[in-house]
Amino acid sequence: MKKLALHWQILIGMSFGVLFGLVMTQFSFGKHVIVDWIKPFGTIFINVLKLIAVPLILASLIKGVSDLKNISQLSNMGLRTIILYLLTTLTAVSIGLGIVNLIKPGNSLSETTRTELLNSYANDAAKKQSVAEVQKDAGPLQALVDLVPSNIFSALQDNGNMLQVIFFALLFGLALVLIPKKKSKPVKDFIDSVNDVILKLIDLIMLTAPYGVFALLAAIVVEAPSIDLFKALGLYTITVICGLALMILFYVTIVRIITGKKIGNFLKGISPAQLLAFSTSSSAATLPVTMECVTDKLDVEEEVSSFVLPIGATINMDGTSLYQAVAAVFIAQAFGIDLNFSAQIGIILTATLASIGSAAVPGAGMVMLVIVLAQAGIPEAGLALIFAVDRPLDMCRTSINVTGDASVSIIVSKLLKVK
């Protein structure tokens, strides 16, 4: 019998997870059973994915850079990647702003719901605010300073330091190109085979993906807030989801126009990564699979994907920036604050920067939203309004984040071939 494609297996795992979660909510003991006996397997699955993120970035990026023929090839690819990432993020924020100004979800939030939400989620919102406080106080060049690790081993120890690892890998790969071939060969051979081992590891981990997503989804269902909250925030949720759907439309259009790839093939090829991003809410945890999808299914050369994707997972978050724009304006509308044109331009800039600064982990986009709110003069306590639906929206925006990275990698690969 022909083996079911991975995206179907994952989809079946997710559906069973949701169903099982729904059935278990009918029993008084259901939530405990899932939290104690099922959820840990989901956590283990995410941990194994995260476990290989740093070695994968190191090995694949060093390999990618050292495989390049010369330095100008690197700068060509680097420049195109950064410009495309900026353009897609700016498009995302603009779509977000456009749609939230059109639908105006904040105006429909009743006075009572607003007070209820503010009271129930004030504590959770305050926690996110205090995490963001550190970022807010930083000087304008702090991001640049943070890019350079003072100790590579401590950078390697923390998944939150992806950019520092990327910086080191780029530098190491560059040095490898610059020394004589005879000297670089042993290191290159070693890195090549480490890279192969890691790719094999990803294959092995993906065999467990259907079970992993089953556990994750079942836990999300039993831990979800009551359906009434979703109703109260329905219009806001719909606005974010419509914006994200428009982003998908934008990606398939530019991929089709620039590369000529069939839309169906593109979406089918990237679907395992999208589903995994949806289940884990983390672009970093999804990175190994995103890399596998674009190289195996979408014909992107390894030297392009290994450069473009790790950087994208860390700095390119189109779904997050769109969500931040919608959320900021929604909160302003709910508080009856009128945002003029220059305030909205400010949101475009800060949401772009805030999404670049968001870590590729669950809930990070909401932390950085504090900065967007502060800059636009919107009360930060307003975070409490959107807290209840943040997790499901995080799942959706993370899927868009990885789709954006994959699209840019396909386009960069095409542009480099044309040259």
Residue 97 sits at the vertex; the CA angle it makes with 82 and 401, to the nearest 5 degrees, is 40
User: Which residue's CB is nearer to ligand ASP, number 380 or number 394?
Assistant: 394
User: Which residue's CB is nearer to ligand ASP, number 84 or number 315?
Assistant: 315
State the Cα–Cα distance between residues 287 and 336, nearest whole angstrom: 40
User: Which residue's CB is nearer to ligand ASP, number 195 or number 403?
Assistant: 403
Among 365, 382, 392, 404, binds ligand ASP (CB under 6 A): 365
C-beta of 353: minimal distance to ligand ASP in Å? 14
Among 88, 283, 350, 413, binds ligand ASP (CB under 6 A): 283
For residues 151, 153, 156 and 161, what is the CA-based torsion angle, rounded to 10 degrees?
Answer: -20
Residue 167 sits at the vertex; the CA angle it makes with 309 and 60, to the nearest 5 degrees, is 45
Decide: is 362 part of the binding site for ligand ASP (CB under 6 A). yes
C-beta of 290: minimal distance to ligand ASP in Å? 11
Six-digit token string for 88:
């897609």
User: Which residue's CB is nearer to ligand ASP, number 66 or number 314?
Assistant: 314
User: Which residue's CB is nearer to ligand ASP, number 57 or number 74?
Assistant: 57
State the Cα–Cα distance between residues 263 and 270, nearest whole angstrom: 11
Among 93, 220, 255, 317, binds ligand ASP (CB under 6 A): 317
Residue in the structure block whose two tokens are 């995080």: 394
Among 34, 65, 364, 371, binds ligand ASP (CB under 6 A): 364
User: Which residue's CB is nearer to ligand ASP, number 65 or number 287?
Assistant: 287
Q: Are 401 and 283 in contact (CB under 8 A)?
A: yes
Decide: is 321 part of the binding site for ligand ASP (CB under 6 A). no
User: Which residue's CB is nearer to ligand ASP, number 164 or number 320?
Assistant: 320
- # residues near ligand ASP by CB under 6 A: 16
Q: Are 282 and 43 in contact (CB under 8 A)?
A: no
Residue type at position 92 = A
Decide: is 405 part of the binding site for ligand ASP (CB under 6 A). no
Positions 374 through 403 that interact with ligand ASP (CB under 6 A): 394, 397-398, 401
State the Cα–Cα distance between residues 319 and 339, nearest whole angstrom: 22
For residues 334, 337, 342 and 343, what is the CA-based torsion angle, rounded to 10 degrees?
Answer: -60
Q: Are 105 and 236 in contact (CB under 8 A)?
A: yes
Among 103, 122, 97, residue whose Cα is nearest residue 236: 103
CB closest to ligand ASP, residue no:
365
Contact residues: ligand ASP, CB under 6 A: 281-283, 317, 320, 358, 360-365, 394, 397-398, 401
